[in-house]
């Protein structure tokens, strides 16, 4: 629809014998017929304009449904993703699949895209065929029946090729709701020069981390051991994950919420003490202030994830050679437990008219060796495909920004140690927003960290109940 309508009909002025705007004015205002004709023209304009609006909306829908109309021509898929330079991988896919045309759209990063996706799903049209979704939002979109079970299109055939924990995140039993694309097993990025200058040891446990933080602060109060971002619940959840917290268990409409268990309190109070003692800064991350802090030596370390090293290179270029990467500090000496922060998947929406082709795109893009290599090398995604994780080229790549360290090795190890069995809630945006609100309140001193966590638990539990879930103990 809409394709035959033009916003400004060609030759319109000539045919009507009036000049556009004057049609509304006095020239044609001579007789009643003239008046009526003017009105008629105005109406036509209205309808054409409305038609154009309609066409604008319709085109998006067409992208998603176009293929169904023409069984002969290529199937057209719409693909929402914010991965940089993804067009190259999409071109590869199109080369390998002459019958499928892909329209790649950047519909915003993270929350921006989710808002659009949710609106489209709610409206009943306008969602793409394939969509990028971060791990933590898969249950949220499943809850509103937004994602197609890909097991019917052969997704389970590639199951064993991915890191266990990653597959665990996208599947439930034999059902598969997305194909993992990249991940963020966590690790510690630190400033070797600052550590050496102040005689700090690279911490292997969180206790050591706190002790070194205190030592650093005494030596130089202008430098913080690290930053605790009050509005990055994904980061905080990663830390909870590492400590064995399982905040949600979901079984159909039964949900258990354990945001206040001792392991949560342990993590929260640990960081709360550091913040209250002024050893750790609380600047929101991914803001200009924070970027400056990292490049100006305000922070001695960044508790980060596998995508962090390349990202940091981009924002703190002048600190090249000064950073190193270490494994994530542990709660118990000698343990090797890590968690994941960030990373995405590609899922197929229930609005797709060509779910089979859409599934093929989601799988191929994240499984084909050439495409996966490209995602890693040009889009800087940390892979979840075992074959790529274990390839020598990847493992032994040296990064000058990190003094030639083989950075990937640390994160491959971390990827292998990510705890499986971590579940997200089916209303993750609410949980995240409440987590930010409560942590912020505690940082501001409006309540203690313990109170914040207890209140977080009761707020989220109440929301779950209000939304019709049955709470399990």
Residues near other proteins, by CB under 8 A: 24, 26, 29-37, 39, 42-43, 45-46, 50, 111, 115, 118-119, 122, 143-144, 230-231, 253, 282-284, 287-289, 292-293, 296, 298, 426-427, 429-430, 433, 436-437, 440-441, 443-444, 463, 466-469
Beta carbon of residue 123, minimum distance to other proteins (angstroms, whole number): 11
Report the SS3 class of residue 214.
helix
Question: Pseudo-torsion of CA 292, 296, 299, 305, nearest 10°?
Answer: 60
Nearest to 231 by CA among 290, 294, 283, 272: 283
User: CA–CA separation, 380 vs 311, rounded Å?
Assistant: 8
Q: Which is nearer to other proteins, 292 or 398 (CB)?
A: 292
Using the minimum distance from each CB to other proteins, give the nearer residue, 224 or 341: 224
Structure tokens at 209: 């981390």
Which CB sits closer to other proteins, 145 or 336?
145
Q: How many CB atoms lie within 10 A of CB 73?
A: 11
Tokens found for residue 230? 């009050």
- The answer to whether the beta carbons of residues 347 and 130 sit under 8 Å apart is yes
The candidate with the shortest Cα–Cα distance to 313, out of 394, 177, 230, 407, is: 407
Of 275 and 359, which CB lies nearer to other proteins in the complex structure?
Answer: 275
CB of 74 to other proteins, least distance (A): 35
**Residue with Cβ nearer other proteins (182 or 281):** 281
Beta-ladder partners of 385? 162
Question: Could you tell me the smallest distance in angstroms from the CB atom of residue 35 to other proteins?
Answer: 6
Closest CA to 142 of 424, 469, 361: 424
Contact between residue 283 and residue 216 where contact means Cβ atoms under 8 Å apart: no
Sheet containing 186-191: order of strands: 301-305, 186-191, 323-327
Supply the minimum distance, in Å, between the C-beta of residue 124 and other proteins: 14
CB of 456 to other proteins, least distance (A): 14
Cα gap 188→238, rounded to integer Å: 13
**Which residue shows structure tokens 């290529």?**
74
| Min CB(230)–other proteins separation in Å | 5
**Nearer CB in complex with other proteins: 292/420:** 292
Q: Looking at beta carbons only, is 144 or 265 nearer to other proteins?
A: 144
Residue with tokens 């690790």: 187
User: To the nearest whole angstrom, how small is the minimum distance from the Cβ of residue 16 to other proteins?
Assistant: 14
Q: Which is nearer to other proteins, 128 or 426 (CB)?
A: 426
Enter the DSSP assignment of 127.
-
Minimum CB–partner distance for residue 1 and other proteins (Å): 17
């Amino acid at each position: 629809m809409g394709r035959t309508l033009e916003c400004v009909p060609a030759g319109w002025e000539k045919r009507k014998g009036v000049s556009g705007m004057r049609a509304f004015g006095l020239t044609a205002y001579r007789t009643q017929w003239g008046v009526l004709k003017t009105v008629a023209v105005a109406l036509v304009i209205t309808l054409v304009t409305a038609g154009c609006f309609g066409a604008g909306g319709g085109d998006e829908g067409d992208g998603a449904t176009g293929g169904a109309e023409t069984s002969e021509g290529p199937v057209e898929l719409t693909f929402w993703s914010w991965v940089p330079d993804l067009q190259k991988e999409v071109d590869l896919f199109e080369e390998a699949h002459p019958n499928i045309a892909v329209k790649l759209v950047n519909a915003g990063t993270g929350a921006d895209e989710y808002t659009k996706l949710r609106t489209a799903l709610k409206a009943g049209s306008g969602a793409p065929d394939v969509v990028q979704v971060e791990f933590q939002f898969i249950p949220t979109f499943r809850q509103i029946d937004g994602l197609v079970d890909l097991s019917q299109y052969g997704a389970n055939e590639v199951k064993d090729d991915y890191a266990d924990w990653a597959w665990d995140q996208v599947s439930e039993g034999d059902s598969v709701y997305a194909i993992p694309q990249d991940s963020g097993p966590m690790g510690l990025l630190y400033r070797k020069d600052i550590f050496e200058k102040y005689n700090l040891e690279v911490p292997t446990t969180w206790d050591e981390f706190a002790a070194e933080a205190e030592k650093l602060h005494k030596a130089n109060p202008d430098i913080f051991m690290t930053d605790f971002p009050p509005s990055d619940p994904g980061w905080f959840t990663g830390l909870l994950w590492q400590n064995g917290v399982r905040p949600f268990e979901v079984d159909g409409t039964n949900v258990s919420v354990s945001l206040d268990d001792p392991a949560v309190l342990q993590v929260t109070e640990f960081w709360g003490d550091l913040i209250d003692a002024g050893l750790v800064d609380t600047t929101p991350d991914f803001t200009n202030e924070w970027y400056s802090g990292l490049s100006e030596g305000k922070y001695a370390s960044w508790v980060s994830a596998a995508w962090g090293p390349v990202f940091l290179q981009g924002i703190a270029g002048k600190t090249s050679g000064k950073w190193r990467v270490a494994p994530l500090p542990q709660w118990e000496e000698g343990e090797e437990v890590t968690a994941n922060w960030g990373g995405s998947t590609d899922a197929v929406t229930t609005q797709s008219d060509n779910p089979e082709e859409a599934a093929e795109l989601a799988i191929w893009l994240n499984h084909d060796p050439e495409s996966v290599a490209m995602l890693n090398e040009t889009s800087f995604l940390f892979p979840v495909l075992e074959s790529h994780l274990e390839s020598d080229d990847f493992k032994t790549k040296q990064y000058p920004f990190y003094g030639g360290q083989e950075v990937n090795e640390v994160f491959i190890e971390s990827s292998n140690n990510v705890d499986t069995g971590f579940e997200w809630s089916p209303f993750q945006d609410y949980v995240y927003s409440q987590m930010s609100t409560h942590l912020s309140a505690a940082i501001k001193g409006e309540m203690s960290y313990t109170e914040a966590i207890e209140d977080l638990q009761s707020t989220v539990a109440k929301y779950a109940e209000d939304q019709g879930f049955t709470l399990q103990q």
